[in-house]
Structures are given as structure tokens and as C-alpha cells.
Amino acid sequence: MSRSRKDPRTERATHRVEGSIRPRFDLAAAPAATGRPRRDRRAEERLALVPGTVRRRLDRTQRVAAVGALPAPTTPAVETPPRLRTIPEPACLVAVVPDAPGGRLTPHDRQLFGAARLLADANGGAVLALVESWSDELAIAGADRVLPIPASGYDPEAKALALLSVLDGLAVRHVLFPESADGGDLARRLAALSGEALFAGAESLSAKAVTRAAQGRRIEQRRAPPRLISLATDAVAPHAGTLHEALPVEFAFPEPTAGAILSAEYIPADPAKVSLAEADFVTSAGNGVTDFEVFRALVAALGATPGASRMVCDAGLMPRAAQVGASGTVLEARCYFALGIAGAPQHLQGVARCEHVVAVNTDLHAAMIERAGLAIVADAQEVMPALLRLIAEEKRG
């Protein structure tokens, strides 16, 4: 209790405005320096005031919302470009075999590069990306070298053989695969071909140890990182900070031989039938939607999977299987389009893993509007037919 006592008289005296006969005090000005820090609630409130709203609105999180027509002018690019880091003579190589469907890296692939950087930096090595084609994303993701592997159609065995020749031909210390449908398959093929042990589905990774779950998630296995590792999703953070060279590497691959797969045909998911958990694009209706005929037509026209908030499911307007959220389905979708949904925490939990969110709501302050990448404050009943009209127009002409 060594706090000095407050002296109201001297405190008041510091507020005295000089130059007038009658004593005047400006108590709102400059916080009195009494040695004891005090919060100035008025100044804080002035800072938190959101400009441009009719209703007085305070944003205590200090993130001044951009309320206006289109996005607020973003600060001109004062960001310094990431530093380029070159590794001219690596001691070893850490290879990464991303899925990269259609040549674009998935978030899981980026995490793979993060893990590879971790292993490479610990051993003075470089990260080698084994991809089907070079792209400039690889430099940002953290690849020092890029080796395009020949691929024609779906033939994982041929790809595994090509990888085997890389494993034998170059000083590759580790090969990292994503533990996904195609990546996991390829990893196991390479493990069988090379006779190396595969550490399947690593859930944590450092330069010293990797761990995975076994025996139905009852046992954790742990060892020093072996040569072949497949990595589970969301185990390692993606690489950030430095830019890498992504230099193309030359390598002579053996001639591929015909495999046992006679034909392969890709069948895209039927959005109307696929379950919510598997869906890629979900369009969802909340309590703000009244016309469900139009909603269903819109879902079909967009090629989306229908979803709903709990209010709508409770009312029996949509089946229970369509409920998104904590007590419904947690989505893995890439894009979520919310019509007339307030964005209760229980609902937002179901959307947490969605990369892109689009929201239409009449309430500017709805949580869904804040969560959305494109937020539209408008009546859903008017936007839905407009969307249908526009899609129909585009189809015709």
C-alpha cells in the first residue's frame, strides 16, 4: 500500500487555465500528471466512436469498421516485400510432394512447405518441390528448388516410380506428403516401392521428433523424423516471412511403363446429393428468408449444397440434416453463402473452417456481416430473385 495519496487541490491546480482574472479550470483537457496513471474514459470513447453512422456507435475493439460504399481505401502498399532468401549450396534436400489440384496449392500443401522449411533449416538444407508444373506460388510457399515430375492422366504408380528415382538420384533427406486421399496413397506406394518406413499421418513435427496416433487414438508414437513422412492437416503452420527462389532443377526420369489402370474419369460431386460435411459450397437460409421456393431455386442455380440455421430447421422449413452449426454440421466448405442469418456463436462455429463467407442481412450489426468477406446489407427476399434473374440472363446470352 505504498500508493501516494491523492491531493485534489494540486490536481485541480494543474487544470487551471492561465490568463483570466477569474480562476478557470479545464478539467477535460490534458490528463493530469499526478504520477498515477488513470484511464481517460472520454478520450477512449472518442477513439472508439465509429464515424459515419447515424446512431452513435462505439467499437471498443478499436477496429474502426469501414462503413461506406465499397471497401475503404486500403493503405497504400507500405508493406515491404518479403526478403528473398537464397540457399546456394544446400547440405541436403527436403522434398515436398503437394497435391496441388489444378496446379494451385491447397492450405494443407502450404502447411507441408512450412514443415519442410522447419526440417530443411535445421539441417542446412533446401526445400525441393516435386510438382507437375512450376508456378510462382511456390516461391512464396517456401520452395528453394522445383522439380517438375512428368505425369499423364491418373497413374499414381508411375508417379511413385518417378519419385523413387528422385529418392535414389538426389540427396533427399526427407520426403513430405499430405495425408490426403491422393497424397496418402502416393506416400504408401513410395514406401512399399522403396522399402523405407513411412511415418503416416504425423500430427506434430519438429526437427527432433514427429508424433502420430495409433491403436485407435490411444497411443502416441514418437520418433526422430524418418525419410518418408505424411503430414495430417493443421499440424504445422505454413511458412511465412521470407521469399524463396524456386529454381527449376534438371533430372532425367526413367521412361514410364503402362500401368494396370485402363481408364480414369473424374466425376465432380453432385452438390444436391453430397452431404453437408463434404460439400464445397454451401448456401444457407436463416430466419430472414421467408420464400423457400426461391431459396431452393437459387441453391440449384448456384450449384450449391443447401444449408440452414437452427431457427429454420426447428420451424420445419428445412430438414434437420441441413442444419449448420455446433449442434448441426461443422462445414469443411470453401465458400459459405448466408442469407438472412444473424450469426449466433453456435452457428458461426459451424462456419469456422470456411475460407470465404458471403452474407446478406438487413442488419448492419449482425455478427454474420462482420464475419463475411463480402457483406451485403439488403433484404434477402429481393436479392434472391435478382440473383436468379441475373444467372438466367447470363445463361441465355
Partner 1 sequence: MRIAVLLSAGRHRVSAHPAPVPVELQAIRLAAELGGEAFGLHAGPAIGPLHDTLGHGLPRLTHLRLAENDDPAPSLADALREGAFDLVLAGRSGQGGEDAGLLPYALARTLGLPIVADAVALAEGPQPGTLRVEQALPRGARRRLVIRLPALVTVHPAAPAPLPFAFAAARRGDVETRPGIAAACAPSEMEERPYRPRPKLIAKAAGGASAAERLKAATESASGGGKLLVEPTPDNAARAILAHLREIGVLA
Pick out residues in 135-194 that bind partner 1 (CB under 8 A).
Answer: 154, 157, 180-182, 184-185, 188-189, 191-193
Q: Is 371 in the site for ligand FAD (CB under 6 A)?
A: no
- Residue pair 88/72 in contact by the 8 Å Cβ criterion: no
Which residue type sits at 31?
P
302 binds, among partner 1, ligand FAD, none (CB under 5 to 8 A by kind): partner 1
- Cβ closer to ligand FAD: 45 or 379? 379
- Cβ closer to partner 1: 207 or 274? 274
Pick out residues in 288-327 that bind ligand FAD (CB under 6 A).
Answer: 288, 309-312, 323-327
3-state class (DSSP) for residue 270: coil
Paired with 19 in beta bridges are: none
Paired with 284 in beta bridges are: 307, 338
CB of 329 to ligand FAD, least distance (A): 8
- Pairwise CA distance, residues 76 & 59, whole Å: 24
- Pairwise CA distance, residues 360 & 376, whole Å: 5
Cα-flanking dihedrals φ and ψ of residue 121, to 5°? -65, -30
* Distances in whole angstroms, Cα of residue 94 to Cα of each of 89, 170, 186, 218, 326: 13, 10, 17, 30, 40
- Cβ closer to partner 1: 143 or 160? 160
Q: Is 380 in the site for ligand FAD (CB under 6 A)?
A: yes
CB of 151 to partner 1, least distance (A): 15
Please state at what angle helix 181-194 crosses helix 156-169, rounded to 10 degrees. 50
Q: Is 118 in the site for ligand FAD (CB under 6 A)?
A: no
Stretch that binds partner 1, among 127-135, 169-177, 246-254, 332-340 (CB under 8 A): 332-340
Which of 225, 238, 286, 307: binder of ligand FAD (CB under 6 A)?
286
Which of 10, 14, 221, 290: binder of partner 1 (CB under 8 A)?
221
- Residue pair 190/175 in contact by the 8 Å Cβ criterion: yes
Q: CA 370, 376, 378, 384: dihedral to nearest 10 degrees?
A: -120
Q: Is 328 in the site for ligand FAD (CB under 6 A)?
A: yes
- Pairwise CA distance, residues 352 & 324, whole Å: 11
Which of 117, 174, 239, 371: binder of partner 1 (CB under 8 A)?
371
Q: How many residues bind ligand FAD (CB under 6 A)?
A: 28
Stretch that binds partner 1, among 22-30, 136-144, 279-287, 317-325 (CB under 8 A): 279-287
3-state class (DSSP) for residue 223: strand
Which of 142, 230, 340, 384: binder of ligand FAD (CB under 6 A)?
340
Q: Is 363 in the site for partner 1 (CB under 8 A)?
A: no
301 binds, among partner 1, ligand FAD, none (CB under 5 to 8 A by kind): none
> For the chain, how far is it from start to end, CA to CA, in angstroms?
80
369 binds, among partner 1, ligand FAD, none (CB under 5 to 8 A by kind): partner 1
Q: How many residues bind partner 1 (CB under 8 A)?
A: 103
- Pairwise CA distance, residues 56 & 241, whole Å: 40
Q: Is 280 in the site for partner 1 (CB under 8 A)?
A: yes
